A and B are shown apart, each in its own frame.
Chain A
Amino acid sequence: MWLLLLILIILLWVISVYNVIVAKRNNVDNAWAQIEVQLKRRHDLIPNLVKVAKGYLAYERETLENVIKARTQAMQAINIKDKETAENFLTSALRSLLFVVENYPDLKANQNMLKLQEEIISTENRIAFARQYYNDEVMRFNITIQQFPFCFVARMFCISKKELFKIEDSSQKEPPKVKL
């Protein structure tokens, strides 16, 4: 009788702990969804960007093609590791394109280009913020399932640690100048 009660209590405890872990894991998943939304936003912007820039950048074929190639790769990537490398590649391709644009005053002054440039910078910032939020959630989750009572339950249900999403920090911020 007492044994039954004890098993019942343990069972209830396990369920409650499991719920906490699942709630945290859902937070992580939501944060990841946010990153995917922003990455998709970036992928959707690129065809427009190429369309606007094409007319002006007749002699910069290579840069444009690089961007398109990087986009296709990024869209095909499935797991986090692949995404990391593909998105980093896309970031650098985009950066070199924006760098090239600086040399074409007409293109730089073009209203559509200015709008697209703003959208791209905004998207990069959104990705950075979404990643920041995701990584914070992952940290919280990982710490939770490593702690003493939680780690048993986590192991019982085969819940493993989540990976951080490392992407090159693409925001335009200058690093703060260090006082010497």
Chain B
Amino acid sequence: MAYSFVEIQKRKTYFIVFLTILLIIIYFATIWILWLAAKIYFVSVFMDFQNFPKKFFFPSFKENVILFIIAIKIALIHFFISSKNMSKKIFYILKAEPMDLSYLKHQQLKNIIDEVLIATGSSQIEGRVINTAFCNAFSTADFDGKVYIGVTEGLLSKLNRSQLEAVVAHEVAHIISGDCFYTTVVCSMFGIYEGFLERISENLVPIETVSGFITKSILYCIISFISALNNLVVSLLSQQREFRADAIAVKLTRNPLALAESLYIISKTWRGKSTASEAFSPLFIVETKDASEFSTHPPIEERINILMNMAHADHSVLEKMMENMYFRTGNIRKDTTPKIGGKTKTQKGWFIFKDNKWQGPFSFSELTQLNWLTGDHLICREGALTVKKACEDFDLISLFKPLHKEVSYKYSCPHCYHGLEELKYEWASTYRCPICKGILVSRSELNKILIREERSFSEEIFQQAEMVKKEKQERFRKIQQIHTPFVLNCPKCGKKMRRRLFSYEAPVEIDVCIWCDIFWFDAEELDIMQVLYDQNLNKDILLE
């Protein structure tokens, strides 16, 4: 679009040569200093330092040449290793995963990527999703021409369709202009190692022992050194690329307001500070670190102002949109539709939609006789206004059970020892006990559930959540008085699970297995937990 293919290739070659030269200089300087230090150390320990000729310390021409050759070799090896499978390594560190197309929001992301591609007339782009609450998006490009766009789960839950489209268009713009490739290569040189060490230090045992403290401090020193080098090479990138990408994105979607809105939302939320994503800050649409003199992005306000000018809109539009958004998350998830024909009132019969008309009513025993009835048929209870699939009706599930009977249970309930049924809760996989309704969920899946906003909750759940909040102090006192917090066995590994409160902000009682990182929620506790999470203003603290 903006540049011809040949031109992009030419610029790529220049860029790689330039980067390699920079690497050689960095390594030469480092080796030179190390060599000098080694010499001084050697002399001061084994010989008379005072009387030694000072000329000896500074490397001779011959030594310089040797050091230079070593530097070239190391730099080339470094470049070769770092430039292999760049995207794969970045995904590993960011924990970015392929999309789960059974989840509507992920399908939507895939659709949007395909749509924007039609506008550019270019080739395939793959989507990735990071299972985290922070809001950001990034793109990567490999040497073999494969390109990816990644979006965080948090961003997916906060943006509407046209806003998400604007973000995707921005990333596509980076890809077609070739900027994405430079950014990926530059970030791969040192960022990968910084991010990798960052992830190791996250998983390290807390600083309680002396050796733990020492390892942690050494690791910290190494990380800061690599981070400094990362900042150095990353400063090569021009901030102009973001303005350029914004402009192309608007040209593609013809919707500057949506892009301004999404930038505004991202700038007002947690963008990924103090996670491993900091090492790849330049890859993201809005930088994950705080703005500083090392900023790789232009100030976000400036970008928003330009876009708002294009849209001929006022800044107040953005503030209003943000207010509406918080209003939405706070309230819309309350399920206010009155329950008609609840479980207590037993209806006499069911109507079934077959051959384009409603038939019936049938009684339960009559239904068992109908051999053509499948779980896919639409049914309506007598006197009720709601229509649903037969397999979704609470009383009819047993009719269709035989179909599912072959499924062997993976886990069994720690309370009632009944097999746990796999249940998609907001498209995250959980296991639920059909008898006590308790739910087993791993940490990463729980993450998804808390971030996503697909379910609405009844008034009772909201009341219970209020109760939990009121009893906060009492609950904490109580949980500390328990003498035997290890009651239930982990359904996965069989070890004892610890009973505790989830967190200070969400004091819901849970059982957790520290070995498998898996949680057991009693009936409705997960729903209550979600309501509490939504109500929390800086809710991202609950996660990570």
Give residues in A with beta carbon < 8 Å to B: 31, 34, 38, 54-56, 58, 105-107, 111, 114-115, 118-119, 121-122, 125-126, 129-130, 132-133, 172-173, 176-179
* Bound Cα distance A178, B317 (Å): 11
The one of B121, B255, B337 in contact with A105, judged by C-beta atoms closer than 8 angstroms, is: B337
- Which 8 residue pairs spanning A and B have beta carbons closest together? A122-B111, A129-B119, A55-B378, A176-B311, A129-B118, A55-B353, A125-B115, A106-B387
* Bound Cα distance A55, B256 (Å): 40
- Is the pair B118, A126 in contact by a Cβ cutoff of 8 Å? yes
- The answer to whether B116 has its CB under 8 Å from any CB of chain A is yes
A residues within 8 A CB of B311?
A: 176-177
- Is the pair A38, B317 in contact by a Cβ cutoff of 8 Å? no
The one of A31, A38, A58 in contact with B358, judged by C-beta atoms closer than 8 angstroms, is: A58
Q: A34-B118, A178-B313 are in contact. List 14 more A-B contacts (CB 8 A).
A: A107-B387, A111-B104, A118-B104, A125-B111, A126-B114, A129-B252, A133-B118, A172-B161, A173-B162, A176-B256, A176-B257, A177-B257, A177-B312, A178-B312
* Bound Cα distance A119, B108 (Å): 8
Closest B residue by C-beta to A34: B118
- The answer to whether B48 has its CB under 8 Å from any CB of chain A is no
* Bound Cα distance A172, B162 (Å): 8
* Bound Cα distance A122, B104 (Å): 12
- Is the pair B387, A56 in contact by a Cβ cutoff of 8 Å? yes
Q: List residues 12-64 of chain B with CB under 8 A from any CB of chain A.
A: none
The one of A126, A173, A177 in contact with B115, judged by C-beta atoms closer than 8 angstroms, is: A126
* Bound Cα distance A63, B107 (Å): 28
A residues within 8 A CB of B162?
A: 172-173
A residues within 8 A CB of B387?
A: 55-56, 106-107
* Bound Cα distance A119, B107 (Å): 9
Closest A residue by C-beta to B314: A179
* Bound Cα distance A178, B121 (Å): 31
A residues within 8 A CB of B121?
A: 31, 34, 133
Return B416 CB to nearest CB of chain A, in Å: 29
The one of A55, A111, A122, A133 in contact with B119, judged by C-beta atoms closer than 8 angstroms, is: A133
* Bound Cα distance A34, B162 (Å): 22
Assuming A105-B337, A133-B121, A176-B257, is B115 touching A122 (CB within 8 A)?
A: yes
Assuming A31-B121, A129-B118, A177-B317, is B111 touching A119 (CB within 8 A)?
A: yes
A residues within 8 A CB of B111?
A: 118-119, 122, 125
Return B125 CB to nearest CB of chain A, in Å: 14
Closest B residue by C-beta to A127: B118
A residues within 8 A CB of B317?
A: 177
- Is the pair B378, A176 in contact by a Cβ cutoff of 8 Å? no
A residues within 8 A CB of B252?
A: 129
* Bound Cα distance A31, B388 (Å): 43
- The answer to whether B173 has its CB under 8 Å from any CB of chain A is no
Closest A residue by C-beta to B258: A173
- Is the pair B118, A38 in contact by a Cβ cutoff of 8 Å? yes
20 pairs of residues in contact across A and B, judged by CB atoms under 8 Å: A54-B356, A55-B353, A56-B378, A56-B387, A111-B104, A114-B104, A118-B107, A119-B111, A122-B115, A125-B111, A125-B112, A125-B165, A129-B116, A129-B252, A132-B119, A173-B254, A176-B255, A176-B256, A176-B311, A179-B313
* Bound Cα distance A31, B120 (Å): 11
Closest A residue by C-beta to B111: A122
B residues within 8 A CB of A176?
A: 255-257, 311-313
B residues within 8 A CB of A115?
A: 104, 107
A residues within 8 A CB of B119?
A: 129, 132-133
B residues within 8 A CB of A178?
A: 312-313
Assuming A55-B353, A177-B313, is B386 touching A129 (CB within 8 A)?
A: no
Q: What total of chain B residues lie within 8 Å of the partner, measured CB to CB?
A: 34
- Is the pair B388, A129 in contact by a Cβ cutoff of 8 Å? no
- Is the pair A130, B337 in contact by a Cβ cutoff of 8 Å? no
B residues within 8 A CB of A173?
A: 162, 254-255, 258
* Bound Cα distance A122, B112 (Å): 7
- Is the pair B118, A130 in contact by a Cβ cutoff of 8 Å? yes
Q: List residues 304-333 of chain B with CB under 8 A from any CB of chain A.
A: 311-314, 317
Assuming A121-B161, A176-B311, is B116 touching A106 (CB within 8 A)?
A: no
A residues within 8 A CB of B104?
A: 111, 114-115, 118
* Bound Cα distance A130, B116 (Å): 10
* Bound Cα distance A113, B337 (Å): 20
B residues within 8 A CB of A107?
A: 387
A residues within 8 A CB of B112?
A: 122, 125
Return B319 CB to nearest CB of chain A, in Å: 13
* Bound Cα distance A176, B378 (Å): 42
Closest B residue by C-beta to A169: B254
Return A10 CB to nearest CB of chain B, in Å: 29
B residues within 8 A CB of A105?
A: 337
Return B383 CB to nearest CB of chain A, in Å: 15
Q: List residues 245-273 of chain B with CB under 8 A from any CB of chain A.
A: 252, 254-258
A residues within 8 A CB of B386?
A: 106
Return A82 CB to nearest CB of chain B, in Å: 23
User: Which of A58, A119, A129: most chain B CB closer than 10 A?
Assistant: A129
* Bound Cα distance A130, B312 (Å): 26
* Bound Cα distance A126, B387 (Å): 33
Closest B residue by C-beta to A115: B104
* Bound Cα distance A121, B107 (Å): 12
A residues within 8 A CB of B388?
A: 106
- Is the pair B353, A129 in contact by a Cβ cutoff of 8 Å? no
B residues within 8 A CB of A122?
A: 108, 111-112, 114-115
* Bound Cα distance A58, B380 (Å): 13
A residues within 8 A CB of B258?
A: 173
B residues within 8 A CB of A121?
A: 161
* Bound Cα distance A118, B115 (Å): 12
* Bound Cα distance A177, B111 (Å): 27
A residues within 8 A CB of B116?
A: 129
Closest A residue by C-beta to B353: A55
* Bound Cα distance A106, B392 (Å): 12
User: Which of A55, A118, A132, A173: most chain B CB closer than 10 A?
Assistant: A55
* Bound Cα distance A152, B254 (Å): 36
- Is the pair B312, A179 in contact by a Cβ cutoff of 8 Å? yes
Return B79 CB to nearest CB of chain A, in Å: 38
Closest A residue by C-beta to B310: A176
B residues within 8 A CB of A111?
A: 104
* Bound Cα distance A114, B103 (Å): 11
